[in-house]
């Protein structure tokens, strides 16, 4: 099964400081056919105006992965963590039994992020936060783990879920294949560029949901940056 979700069909939320698109039901956007994909629950495409951001608010029982596309995001939480994650890098917050955090764009330019929420395998647990740098060369022409439920095997940041978040940067004409299992759920979004999957054109910021496949082959029509989740 392959389900293409064009950017124009996504949920929309806008204020004077935030422009958000929702791949799945979130906040005031509700579509019963888009409540999640496997254990992937949220994929938000956020543009945050310079000098603004999300004030302190709580979370629990969710693995929250932030992929920074442009600019940088500054994190602060109730455990005392402070960090700044820049474009191309990733942060993970395991909300566990409960945590409060804020996310601000303290830069002089708009920050653009993918915010990805995955349901944990079990509720509760000690909340945690971490960030990781991914040199551009590591992602060139291949998928690299950004976060994984088994980081010792896959690499990337730890999440408490039977899941993996991967990224790749492809030059025009390059092809990459990702092996999976038919019972897994893949969700692919090009952060930039344009790719094809099974003869389906997928422009930047569109979503592509796949299941029932043993492998997915992606070809870049133009220079492209890809983020994809693999969940149960």
How confident is the model over 39-83, as pLDDT tens digits? Answer: 999 999 999 999 999 999 999 999 999 999 999 999 999 999 999
Contact 164, 154 (CB under 8 A): yes
CB-side exposure of 39: number of CA atoms within 13 Å?
A: 22
pLDDT for 137 equals 82
pLDDT digits (tens, 9 = 90+) for 7-47: 999 999 999 999 999 999 999 999 999 999 999 999 999 99
The residue with tokens 């932030």 is 66
Would you give the distance in Å from CA 49 to the centre of its chain?
A: 19
Q: Tell me the CATH number at 165.
A: 2.60.120.10
Q: Which domain holds residue 21?
A: 2-231
Q: What is the mean pLDDT of residues 74-96?
A: 98
Element (H, E) at 95: none
In angstroms, rounded to a whole number, what is the distance separating the alpha carbons of residues 127 and 160?
Answer: 11
Q: Residue 130: helix, strand or coil by DSSP? A: strand
Return the beta strands (E) in 33-179 as ranges: 40-48, 52-59, 63-70, 72-77, 82-86, 90-94, 99-105, 111-118, 128-132, 144-148, 157-158, 163-170, 175-179
pLDDT digits (tens, 9 = 90+) for 121-169: 999 999 999 999 998 788 899 999 999 999 999 999 999 999 999 999 9
pLDDT for 139 equals 85
Q: What is the total count of domains within the chain?
A: 1
pLDDT for 77 equals 98
In angstroms, rounded to a whole number, what is the distance separating the alpha carbons of residues 71 and 75?
Answer: 14
Q: Which long-range contacts (CB under 8 A, 24 or more apart) does 177-182 make?
A: 177/215, 177/216, 177/217, 177/218, 178/143, 178/215, 178/216, 178/217, 178/218, 178/228, 178/230, 179/214, 179/215, 180/213, 180/214, 180/215, 180/216, 180/230, 181/214, 182/211, 182/212, 182/213, 182/214
User: What is the pTM (predicted TM-score) of this model?
Assistant: 0.97
Backbone angles phi, psi at 12, to 5 degrees: -135, 135
Q: What's the burial of 6, exposed, middle or buried (CB within 10 Å: 0-12/13-18/19+)?
A: exposed
Q: Is the pLDDT of residue 201 over 80?
A: yes
Instruction: Tell me the two tokens of residue 79.
Output: 């455990």
């Amino acid at each position: 099964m392959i389900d293409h979700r064009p950017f124009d069909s996504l949920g929309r939320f806008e204020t004077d400081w935030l422009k958000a698109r929702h791949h799945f039901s979130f906040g005031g956007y509700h579509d019963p056919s888009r409540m999640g994909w496997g254990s992937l629950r949220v994929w938000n495409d956020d543009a945050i105006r310079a000098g603004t951001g999300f004030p302190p608010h709580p979370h629990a029982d969710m693995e929250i992965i932030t992929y920074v596309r442009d600019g940088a995001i500054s994190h602060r939480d109730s455990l005392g963590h402070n960090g700044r994650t820049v474009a191309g890098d990733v942060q993970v917050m395991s909300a566990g039994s409960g945590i409060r955090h804020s996310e601000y764009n303290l830069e002089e330019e708009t920050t653009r992020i993918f915010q990805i929420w995955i349901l944990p395998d079990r509720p509760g647990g000690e909340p945690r936060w971490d960030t990781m740098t991914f040199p551009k060369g590591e992602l060139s022409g291949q998928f690299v783990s950004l976060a994984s439920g088994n980081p010792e095997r896959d690499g990337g940041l730890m999440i408490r879920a039977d899941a993996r978040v991967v990224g790749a940067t492809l030059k025009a004409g390059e092809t990459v294949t990702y092996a999976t299992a038919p019972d897994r759920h893949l969700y692919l979004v090009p952060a930039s560029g344009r790719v094809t999957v099974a003869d389906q054109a997928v422009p930047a910021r569109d979503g592509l949901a796949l299941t029932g496949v043993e492998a997915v082959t992606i070809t870049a029509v133009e220079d492209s940056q890809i983020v994809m989740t693999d969940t149960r």
